[in-house]
């Protein structure tokens, strides 16, 4: 029997016979577009980029895109660099507000059909979207350079005028599609895509072989590198593919400027991008500026540290110290692997058992890579013991039926000669409801024409890419209906059998999808206790709804917060919290998972069962997640910059080098008269995101700005660089790498200490009067010390005296030295400032040696009997220094309540 595919009216039609002839030689120019480039005064954009899809004369045996929606700039984008981009509110944000990384709800994506509108097409952005005005589109310039005989510099106008245009349907897929499943097994370095990280569009542009043939690659050329205009913390985004792939017309690589007949949307590369069929979306560089022919693969940071499948035994921690492993091209991802997913039944969809349908049409999508065709989709209801073939349809094949020389959206639509398949296909199978009722789950697997089949089990890797095990939907029998449960939900959305299994203590890697097997329970418990810290009280079974949770949002000094879906009551710990009660109140009524897990030590996590009061219900978690996405960054105009419950964005305006490893980073606030709002002695939280993994990097800093300063914020940071022997600091290196003009997020103030002036302090909310400060610091720990010292010395009527002990290795390491010296002079007899170095230079005239017990006994002395409480010792520096200082001072008789560690 001949294979069939659905015709436009739904009646199966014979699969077209596909010849093996090569495509016709492209003409050197397209005559009907020549005038466009010569006379740009007649609004050429209206000709090249019509607002509505153009019609095609004659019959159309292929589907056209659904009608796109009219979108607007969304409120959450207004205060971001993407405030010029209109977007569909249905899209699910996977990495917070910015940068924009989204997928559509799986049902909505499937319901649009074969072609996806720009509204629901997935987006993977590493940073801000370049802004290109419509008037400048045709003048967009790019180059073809490197190992070529005839380097080219051309505009989009030239590309349209001088080369043949083609239009092809192409499915793009993010290599992270279905990554949430890997993150449930073990956290990868990537954010959580669901199963909708793919989309299909009609792309119009110029075949890349035509451009390369004009430039004439030289002998020895082996790769083609692409670079975009999106400036990121680690340079411009770029990657490469092999030159022989780029020259092969069967590969279908194109330089595209239209999507579904319209100008490229900004999120999709306006005005020009590379589109590489059959390969992961990360190779299809957007906002194209350079095509470089080379002898070696790209050395771009994003080519090396993104889109790789490292060996499964490499952990996230290990990967940070394996630069040669990252550079190994054997681990780079190019062609997609075969994959599939079930779209219907949808997650949590239910069907009635009594009075419901006798059969249910299970359906979904499948795709393969490198031009391969999906040849079968199999369904099992008994965990792989038996399988049933599903029906497959290939809408892509309908485009092969286009008439000879037919054009679509200004490009020649000629696919009859090409065997390669570059689009997703659809599958369906009618299953009796009684069979579904008898089964525990529905699982599927696809096979391509090279007989490669989806694996049963997951191949976990550090970046969480190319996840393609069997797709499993669990069936729950609930009273009078069946309810279906998908593996996961995207981003931080709760739900899915994998999350449920993990929370119940099941082992997702046991080969039985987390179901308990004989003799396994004890082993799992041993493994879990070794690698994870339990943060819940197993005896607590209470489920908390959103209404009850919000009654404890800090307004009445009761503080409930959520970490990993569990509710904690931090009210009783506000006084004892090292960061002060404000830290807990700032998290009250919110999901604090990201901040808590980024900042707190294993000791703090081990304390959590004592404060665990229940589990947030699934409905409440959804409400909280949506509310958090909408308000996670405060965009309202206000007089004070820092907010305790919302992140506020400031733009990086300068970096001033203070020493070989220290810089002052300056940020501009919302407006020139906006106050920072940081009390003396307190600090703020700074948040960055890893440019590749979107992992939140959060650290506490004390700025050197005065809290009353307006419009600007200055933060002194010691940067811990990588060395051959040791990995450096994630946060400080990320901060150092971001470009001027990039934003950083701040929240605060936090901290248990505040200097109110004239010897009055507040510690944990309780006032204390002191007569003397002993300030001990090292390195960048000088910043909170400097902040308090400045407040004391600038008030000529403040009677408080200060002894400042600043220990460092070499003279260059003394930070804020000029400012400290000036304050010492200003304070006169009220201030004694002492520097000591452990590795002094030959010209050093000051003290030498460590701030050990002997040094502290000489400079600080023992507490004076009868004057307990008159002196407060403020300490800030590396952990080893703080610990040795604590031991030495306690050995001299100083009380814990007189020692305060910033």
> Both tokens of residue 724?
């051959």
Alpha carbon 483 to its chain's center:
32
**Candidate list 174, 343, 421, 761, residue with the active-site label:** 174
Tokens of residue 552, six digits: 């404890």
Return the structure tokens found at 485.
Answer: 């449960």
Nearest to 335 by CA among 426, 179, 466: 466
User: Left if phi > 0, otherwise alpha if psi is -120 to 50, otherwise beta: which for 550?
Assistant: alpha
Cβ–Cβ under 8 Å, residues 103 and 91: yes
> Is position 335 annotated as part of the catalytic site?
no
From the candidates 300, 307, 337, 467, give the one annotated as an active-site residue.
307
Helices H, strands E: what count in the chain? 24, 46
Q: Which of 306, 448, 569, 670 is catalytic?
A: 306
Peptide bond into 426 cis (omega under 30): no
Is residue 425 part of the annotated active site? The answer reads no
Helix (H) or strand (E) holding 889: helix 879-891
CB 254 within 8 A of CB 203: yes
Alpha-carbon separation of residue 543 from 567, 612, 620, 884 (angstroms):
9, 12, 10, 45
Note whether 249 and 207 are within 8 A (CB): yes
> In this structure, what token pair is assigned to residue 831?
């201030």
Strands (E), 87-165: 92-93, 101-103, 123-124, 141-146, 152-155
Name residues whose C-beta falls within 8 Å of residue 178's C-beta, 6 or more positions apart in sequence. 193, 194, 195, 197, 339, 341, 467, 468
Tokens describing residue 556: 């009445």
Residues in the chain: 902
Cis ω before 72 (30° cut-off from 0): no
Place of tokens 């590969």: 251
The Cα 172–Cα 199 span in angstroms is: 6
Rounded to the nearest 5°, which phi and psi values hold at 625?
-65, -45
Written as one string, the DSSP assignment of 643-703 is -SSSBEEEEEEEEEEEETTEEEEEEE-SSTT-B----TT-EEEEEEE-TTT--EEEEEE--
| Alpha-carbon gap, residue 805 to 811, rounded angstroms | 14
3-state SS, one letter per residue, for 570-613? CHHHCCCCCCCHHHHHHHCCCECHHHHHHHCCHHHHHHHHHHEE
> How many C-beta atoms lie closer than 10 Å to residue 531's C-beta?
8
Buried/exposed code over 699-733 (b: 16+ C-beta within 10 A; e: otherwise): bbbbbbbbbebeebbbbbbbbbeeeeeeeebebbb
Task: Tell me how far apart the alpha carbons of residues 159 and 139 are, in angstroms, rounded to a whole number.
Answer: 10
**Quick check: helix, strand or coil at residue 108?**
helix
Tell me whether residue 174 is one of the annotated catalytic residues: yes
**Sheet of 101-103, strands arranged across:** 92-93, 101-103, 123-124
- Residue owning tokens 């022919």: 293
Give the helix/strand (H/E) hosting 137. Answer: none
Buried residues in 824-843 as b, exposed as e (16+ CB within 10 A):
beebeebbebbbbbeebeee
Which parts are annotated binding residues? 174
Spatial CA neighbour of 132 closest among 221, 54, 35, 229: 229
Scanning the structure block, which residue is given the tokens 């003009």?
741
CB 189 within 8 A of CB 493: no
Q: How far apart are CA 511 and CA 332, in angstroms?
A: 27
Decide if 687 contacts 634 (C-beta within 8 A): no
- Residues belonging to the binding site for Mo-molybdopterin are 174
Active site residues per annotation:
174, 306-307
């Amino acid at each position: 029997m001949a294979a069939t595919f659905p015709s436009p009216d739904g009646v199966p039609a014979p699969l077209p016979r596909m010849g093996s002839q090569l495509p016709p030689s492209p003409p050197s120019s397209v005559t009907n577009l020549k005038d466009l480039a010569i006379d740009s005064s007649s609004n050429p954009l209206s000709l090249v980029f019509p607002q509505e899809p153009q019609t095609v004369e004659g019959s159309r045996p292929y589907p056209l895109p659904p009608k796109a929606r009219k979108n607007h700039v969304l409120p959450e984008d207004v205060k971001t660099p993407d405030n010029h981009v209109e977007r569909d509110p249905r899209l699910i944000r996977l990495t917070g507000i910015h940068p924009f990384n989204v997928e559509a709800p799986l049902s909505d994506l499937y319901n649009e059909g074969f072609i996806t509108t720009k509204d629901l097409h997935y987006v993977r952005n590493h940073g801000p979207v370049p802004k290109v005005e419509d008037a400048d589109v045709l003048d967009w310039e790019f180059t073809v350079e490197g190992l070529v005989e005839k380097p080219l510099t051309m505009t989009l106008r030239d590309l349209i005028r001088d080369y043949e245009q083609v239009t092809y349907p192409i499915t793009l897929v993010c290599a992270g599609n279905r990554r949430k499943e890997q993150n449930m097994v073990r956290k990868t370095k990537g954010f959580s895509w669901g199963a909708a990280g793919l989309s299909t569009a009609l792309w119009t542009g110029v075949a890349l072989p035509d451009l390369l043939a004009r430039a004439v690659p030289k002998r020895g050329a082996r790769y083609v590198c692409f670079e975009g205009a999106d400036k990121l913390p680690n340079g411009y985004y770029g990657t490469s593919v092999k030159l022989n792939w780029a020259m092969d017309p069967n590969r279908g690589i194109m330089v595209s400027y239209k999507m579904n007949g319209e100008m490229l949307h900004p999120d999709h590369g306006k005005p020009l991008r590379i589109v590489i069929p059959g390969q992961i979306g990360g190779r299809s560089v957007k906002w194209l500026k350079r095509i470089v022919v080379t002898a070696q693969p790209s050395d771009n940071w994003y080519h090396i540290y993104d889109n790789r499948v490292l060996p499964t035994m490499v952990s996230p921690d290990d990967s940070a110290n394996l630069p040669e492993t990252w550079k190994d091209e054997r681990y780079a991802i190019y062609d997609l692997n075969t994959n599939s997913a079930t779209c219907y039944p949808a997650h949590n969809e239910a069907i009635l058992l009594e009075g419901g349908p006798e059969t249910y049409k299970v359906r979904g999508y499948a795709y393969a890579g490198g031009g391969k065709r999906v040849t079968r989709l199999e369904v099992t209801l008994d965990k792989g013991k038996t399988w049933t073939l599903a029906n497959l349809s290939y809408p892509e094949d309908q485009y092969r039926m286009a008439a000879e020389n037919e054009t679509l959206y200004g490009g020649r639509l000629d696919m009859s000669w090409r065997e390669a398949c570059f689009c997703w296909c659809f599958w369906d199978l009618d299953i009796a409801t009684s069979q579904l009722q008898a089964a525990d789950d529905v699982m599927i697997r696809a096979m391509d024409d090279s007989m490669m089949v989806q694996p049963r089990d997951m191949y976990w890797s550090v970046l969480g890419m190319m996840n393609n095990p069997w797709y499993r939907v669990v069936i729950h029998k609930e009273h009078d209906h069946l309810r279906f449960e998908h593996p996961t939900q995207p981003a931080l959305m709760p739900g899915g059998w994998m999350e449920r299994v993990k929370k119940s203590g099941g082992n997702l890697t046991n080969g039985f999808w987390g179901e308990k097997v004989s003799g396994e329970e004890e082993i799992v418990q041993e493994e879990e206790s070794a690698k994870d810290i339990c943060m819940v009280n197993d005896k607590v079974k209470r489920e908390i709804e959103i209404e009850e949770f919000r009654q404890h949002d800090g307004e009445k000094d009761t503080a409930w917060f959520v970490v990993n879906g569990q509710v904690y009551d931090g009210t009783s710990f506000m006084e004892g919290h090292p960061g002060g009660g404000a830290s807990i109140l700032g998290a009250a009524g919110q999901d604090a998972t990201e901040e808590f897990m980024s900042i707190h030590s294993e000791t703090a996590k081990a304390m959590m069962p004592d404060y665990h009061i229940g589990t947030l219900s699934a409905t409440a978690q959804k409400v909280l997640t949506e509310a958090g996405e909408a308000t996670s960054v405060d965009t309202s105009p206000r007089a004070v910059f820092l907010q305790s419950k919302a992140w506020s964005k400031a733009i990086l305006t300068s970096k001033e080098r203070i020493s070989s490893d220290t810089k002052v980073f300056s940020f501009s606030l919302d407006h020139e008269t906006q106050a920072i709002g940081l009390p003396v002695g307190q600090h703020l939280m700074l948040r960055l995101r890893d440019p590749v993994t979107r992992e939140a990097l959060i650290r506490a800093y004390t700025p050197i700005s005065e809290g009353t300063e307006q419009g600007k914020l200055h933060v002194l940071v010691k940067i811990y660089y990588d060395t051959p022997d040791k990995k450096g600091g994630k946060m400080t290196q990320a901060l150092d790498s971001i470009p001027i003009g990039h934003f950083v997020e701040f929240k605060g103030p936090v901290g248990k200490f505040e200097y109110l002036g004239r010897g009055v302090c507040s510690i944990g909310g309780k006032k204390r009067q002191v007569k003397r400060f002993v300030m001990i610091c090292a390195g960048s720990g000088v910043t909170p010390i400097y902040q308090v010292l400045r407040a004391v010395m600038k008030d000529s009527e403040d009677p408080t005296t200060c002894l400042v002990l600043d220990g460092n290795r070499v003279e260059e390491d003394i930070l804020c030295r000029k400012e400290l010296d000036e304050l010492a002079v200003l304070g006169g007899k009220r201030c004694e400032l002492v520097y000591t170095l452990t590795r002094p230079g030959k010209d050093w005239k000051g003290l030498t040696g460590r701030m050990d017990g002997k040094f502290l006994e000489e400079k600080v002395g023992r507490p004076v009997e009868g004057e307990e409480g008159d002196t407060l010792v403020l300490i800030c520096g590396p952990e080893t220094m703080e610990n040795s200082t604590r031991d030495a001072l306690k050995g001299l008789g100083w009380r814990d309540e007189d020692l305060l560690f910033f």
